[in-house]
Structure 1
Amino acid sequence: MIRLARRVVRFGIQVHGRTRWISSWGTRTQIEGKQILTGLVGLGAATVAVIHTVRTADEDTGATSCSDNDPGDNKNISFTVTSSLERCFVAFCSLEFAGQVYMTPLDFLQSLTSEKPRMKERKILSTREVKALLASTPPLKSASSNLFQSLGNRGLLSYSDYLFLLCILAKPQHGFKIAFKMFDTDGNEQVDKAEFIKLQQIFRKSREDRKSNFQSNEDVDTTLTVHLFGGKGQQYLTYSSFQCFVQAVQREVASLEFNHTARGLPYLNGGDFVRTILKHTSLSPKAESLAWKADHIEEIYLDEFCQFFVFLNHLDDFETAVHMYTRNSIPIGKDEFSRVVVVLTGQPLPSSIVSAIFAAFDPESHGCLRLHDFVSTMRQRLSRGHKDKGHPDNLAFFSCVKRELSKY
């Protein structure tokens, strides 16, 4: 396409020379020549604009051309992102292999805490390098609550892995148990790798709001599958082991967010807690004005912070439960709020967290929670701001055409 654009523009310049020569024949001929020139230059500019748009889209999505490290391993990567989830995944991917992009464990953690990736250029992996990365994956039985931080850049996660891990951070335990039992046909509470991939696809569809262009290569092992099923993929995954894995992932991410805000201190004050839970929400720009009312609230420690996110994974159940109060015109005060939390999680939230929540979602200090505001905002927090708002490629295209035409 680049060669075509250059030829069209060169041809337009040649016509421009012919137009000057034709102009000596008469005004009418000159006008016709100018019309030809205008059409050809416009065509050339539009062609340049299309190329510019394609290049821009490639830069924004991270689509690049790969050189082969192993014969047949890498092909030219070309895809179009259609949702905010895909855009975030592509932006933070730092690895390429076999025509697909991958995150490292560190990329995944940074996608949760940072607005921009730490690097733009991706490393193209060979088959040998992929095997070396996966060889460093610890087995499930020796897993800890800092799996991803300890692995750092020594691993790779696919788009399906990314969506599945996001589901882990936003779903209650009973949701996984139901899905797990769906594939436990013999009732032994364990699944194999093939069944897990089907389970993964179910949770992937629950996160996507439209058909995705990303088709993960199931023949390529990833850090997640090797961790859960071993290097040869022949181990079975029991529900109790999977439950421990889910809890470890949830705690690792919560700890990362806690430490990111605490900056070396062993606690957060109420204001810092409010700022943290309002990240990735529509109230994020107003976080400071809402948080100052909670700055005086006593310290919130890591275990208490993690406990709040366990409750947050029961948000749908919470909304159902509190409607029993609102239908009977009973306002949701701190006592009612705390009672519902105990019913859902089996543990009460610390009074410091409850006070901080009401400081943010009861701005008039009436003692009543603004239920709709709290639920809708926390739902945004769980999805980490990933809500598709439409793809702006058409606007970018017409803007680019207008800009390129203005040069001629």
Structure 2
Amino acid sequence: MKGKRGPLFVFVGCATSVSLISFSSKQGTLPTQFLETKDHIPPQATPTPVIPVPESKSALFRDRKIMQYENRLRAFSTPDKIFRYFSTLKHAQTGELYMTPADFIRALTPGLRQPEGLGLDSYYEFDLSTDRIVLNLSLEDDSIFFKLGNSGLLAFPDFIFLMTVLSTPVRSFQIAFQMFDLNGDGEVDTEEFDVVYRLMQAHSSAVKGTAEVNLKAASASDALGLYFFGPELKGKLTVEKFLDFHQQINNEITRIEFSQKDDLNIGLITAEDFAELLTSYIGADDDRTIQTRKRVKSKFGSTPSVSLEDYMDFYRFCNSISDIDVALSFYHVAGAAIDRDTLEHLASKVAGVNLNSHLVDIIFEIFDENGDQHLERKEFVSVLQQRMARGLVRPKDTGFIKSIIALYRCSVKAVEMKSKQWKRREMSSVWGSHE
């Protein structure tokens, strides 16, 4: 049975005393969920009743504007800027930035606010000689994040690697491995994998098109090299091992998504939380999405009722969305409606998942806006496809290349206008000579 670490203590130095940690812009200390020392162990949190304080309209307006800005940043900014904005930790000596797994999820998921006071050029600094980092997440002992970088923390190359892996279809990796498997044994060495990775990086809409990626993260991190190829990097990597790694990454991210909504740490989230996780990639601040979540909350209340097992089953269902879409098209051609029984049957036969009836009720409340107890196939499939893509299918180049393209278009328009003016003058002179 796999053990769990929660909270997880990741040692990065010999701690002797609590040192003063500073923001880049203001003084402060690392919160206890990030820091502990040999002489200072953070006490276990004691649950206390939370008294809701009504927010003012100005505060709600400010929060919504910040959320909209962060959503635009996720969708259109370069990977380097996304990493710098959503990272929360900075090495005091080297200045290198790090993400926790929770930071990475926040960088992907629309609607998840960056902690107050953190963002571009504002981080918690830590000193390797005095501090040790605490990742306040219930991760498995063999968590894939421990294989990525420095004790579960993600540096920029690790961030780019994850973005590349998550934004590249499994089938593309299979084809790339076959291309560079010269002897046909189904294995690649470290140099061949580096070529495969660069190829995937070049075709990934999530990371291509920025000079920072090419300079800072052209190859996978050293920790991944050790994991895939052994301590001397002389091993071989099979496509099966890599696809298993790909699946582990997706499973772990899905679990962390769930845990971030499980505020009470009881293994359950509310129906509204589930609706928010499902619809976050189609417009977290969209009025229609907000109304959908309100409708779900109105029907199912605020009592946690969706378990981690239910959520993982739904993720596995979404993972088969291409096959589900084909099956749904057969029903559509046959004139059959997509009702609850049909959805549960497809989940069982096509995806091999038995969806909880309560979860099916929530799904229908989300998608069945007219209350006819049927799903509209195109919208249902489209939302699940966007959910599985995690917003990584759109180009994220707002830097030098985009400026050059804009300049080129302006130049073309200017040349066309000059050409038209020249032609008018030529025609005027011709007609004038005839007269």
Q: Where on the TM-score scale, by shorter chain, does this alignment land: which range? A: 0.5 to 0.7
Change (3 A) 1:248 1:290: same
Counterpart of 2:282?
A: 281
Higher mean alpha-carbon deviation, 226-235 vs 273-282, is at 226-235
Asked if 1:291 is matched to 2:324, the reply is: no
- Contact 2:188/2:236 (8 A) holds in 1: yes
Counterpart of 2:223?
A: 223
Counterpart of 1:321?
A: 327
Counterpart of 2:282 in 1: which secondary structure?
coil
Counterpart of 1:354?
A: 360
Shift of 1:276: 1.9
Higher mean alpha-carbon deviation, 211-220 vs 260-269, is at 211-220
Counterpart of 1:311 in 2: which secondary structure?
helix
Higher mean alpha-carbon deviation, 326-335 vs 211-220, is at 211-220
Change (3 A) 1:269 1:149: farther
- Contact 2:149/2:223 (8 A) holds in 1: no
Shift of 1:252: 1.5
Give a deviation string over 1:81-139, Cα, whole Å, max 9, x none: 9746554234235669xx998654544344235443745357999xxx9xxxxxxxxxx
Change (3 A) 1:187 1:293: farther
Change (3 A) 1:86 1:373: farther
Asked if 1:186 is matched to 2:183, the reply is: yes
* Gapped regions of structure 1 (runs ≥ 5): 1-59, 62-80, 130-141, 395-408
Counterpart of 1:67?
A: none
Shift of 1:331: 1.7
Asked if 1:88 is matched to 2:85, the reply is: no
Change (3 A) 1:187 1:124: farther
| 1:66-105 matches, cutoff 5 A | 83=77, 85=79, 87-93=81-87, 103-105=98-100
Change (3 A) 1:102 1:367: same
Higher mean alpha-carbon deviation, 236-245 vs 85-94, is at 85-94
Asked if 1:309 is matched to 2:307, the reply is: no
Letter in 2 for 1:370: E
Give a deviation string over 1:249-292, Cα, whole Å, max 9, x none: 22211111111112112122433211221223225433432422
Counterpart of 2:194?
A: 197
Task: Tell me the distance in 1 between the aligned counterparts of 2:231 and 2:290.
Answer: 45
Task: Tell me the distance in 2 between the aligned counterparts of 1:293 and 1:279.
Answer: 19
Shift of 1:225: 3.2
Counterpart of 1:108?
A: 104
Task: Tell me the distance in 2 between the aligned counterparts of 1:179 and 1:339.
Answer: 35
Task: Tell me the distance in 2 between the aligned counterparts of 1:149 and 1:228.
Answer: 11
Task: Tell me the distance in 1 between the aligned counterparts of 2:342 and 2:240.
Answer: 33
Change (3 A) 1:85 1:385: farther
- Contact 2:146/2:152 (8 A) holds in 1: no
Task: Tell me the distance in 1 between the aligned counterparts of 2:124 and 2:259.
Answer: 29
Change (3 A) 1:155 1:383: closer
Counterpart of 2:32?
A: none
Counterpart of 1:156?
A: 155
Counterpart of 2:382?
A: 376
Shift of 1:174: 5.8
Task: Tell me the distance in 2 between the aligned counterparts of 1:255 and 1:289.
Answer: 24
Letter in 2 for 1:335: D
Task: Tell me the distance in 1 between the aligned counterparts of 2:192 and 2:125.
Answer: 30
- Contact 2:77/2:398 (8 A) holds in 1: yes
| 1:105-254 matches, cutoff 5 A | 105-106=100-101, 107-112=103-108, 114-116=112-114, 118-119=118-119, 120-121=121-122, 143-144=142-143, 147=146, 154-158=153-157, 160-167=160-167, 171=169, 176-204=173-201, 205-208=203-206, 211-213=209-211, 214-215=213-214, 216-218=216-218, 221-254=221-254
Shift of 1:369: 0.7
- Contact 1:190/1:239 (8 A) holds in 2: yes
Change (3 A) 1:329 1:210: farther
Task: Tell me the distance in 2 between the aligned counterparts of 1:343 and 1:84.
Answer: 41
- Contact 1:109/1:148 (8 A) holds in 2: no
TM-score by length of 2: 0.56
TM-score by length of 1: 0.59
| 1:10-25 matches, cutoff 5 A | none
| Identity %, equivalent residues | 21
Task: Tell me the distance in 2 between the aligned counterparts of 1:87 and 1:150.
Answer: 20
Shift of 1:237: 1.8
Shift of 1:155: 4.9
Counterpart of 1:271?
A: 272
Task: Tell me the distance in 2 between the aligned counterparts of 1:124 and 1:222.
Answer: 23
Task: Tell me the distance in 2 between the aligned counterparts of 1:197 and 1:389.
Answer: 23
Counterpart of 1:207 in 2: which secondary structure?
coil
Letter in 1 for 2:236: Y
Counterpart of 1:72?
A: none
Counterpart of 1:332 in 2: which secondary structure?
coil
- Contact 1:267/1:299 (8 A) holds in 2: yes
* C-alpha RMSD over aligned residues: 4.2
- Contact 1:105/1:151 (8 A) holds in 2: no
Task: Tell me the distance in 2 between the aligned counterparts of 1:177 and 1:278.
Answer: 30
Task: Tell me the distance in 1 between the aligned counterparts of 2:145 and 2:154.
Answer: 14
Letter in 1 for 2:389: S
Counterpart of 1:278 in 2: which secondary structure?
helix
Letter in 2 for 1:197: D
